[in-house]
């Protein structure tokens, strides 16, 4: 398995955001933490497991939470950002406030 660097993952999330018409979190420390979490998960599991959710360490069981997770579009439509607050709808104005959103993933 090829290890991913911070730059690899940063490029990956930027391309996803561009393709989907989203923007990335504009808080540089939060963005760094999320990208580092994705990098660690990729280097540990071999796939971009959501950095805000626990992995089963099984790609098949985690397929719904591979970034961008299958819940991200609904979260962004409803709340303006995804569960991790990595991706945002560019028209969202939260006034600097980002709260927790409900977990859509079944237990």
Half-sphere CA count of 33, side-chain side, radius 13 A = 10
In the prediction, which pLDDT does 92 show? 84
Look at domain 6-88 and name its CATH class: alpha beta
Q: Domain extents for the chain? A: 6-88
Number of other residues whose CB lies within 10 A of the CB of residue 54: 9
In the prediction, which pLDDT does 63 show? 96
Residues of the chain with pLDDT under 70: 1, 96
Closest CA to 52 of 87, 18, 79, 26: 87
* Interatomic CA distance for residues 88 and 42, integer angstroms: 22
* Entry pTM: 0.93
């Amino acid at each position: 398995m090829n290890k991913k660097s911070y730059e690899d993952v940063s490029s990956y999330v930027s391309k996803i955001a561009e393709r989907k018409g989203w923007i990335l979190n504009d808080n540089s420390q939060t963005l760094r933490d999320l990208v580092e979490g994705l990098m660690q998960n990729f280097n540990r599991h071999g796939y971009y497991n959501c950095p805000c959710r626990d992995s089963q360490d099984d790609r098949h069981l985690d397929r719904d939470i591979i970034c961008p997770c299958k819940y991200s579009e609904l979260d962004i439509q409803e709340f303006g950002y995804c569960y991790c607050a990595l991706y945002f709808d560019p028209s969202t104005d939260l006034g600097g406030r980002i709260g927790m959103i409900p977990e859509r993933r079944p237990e």
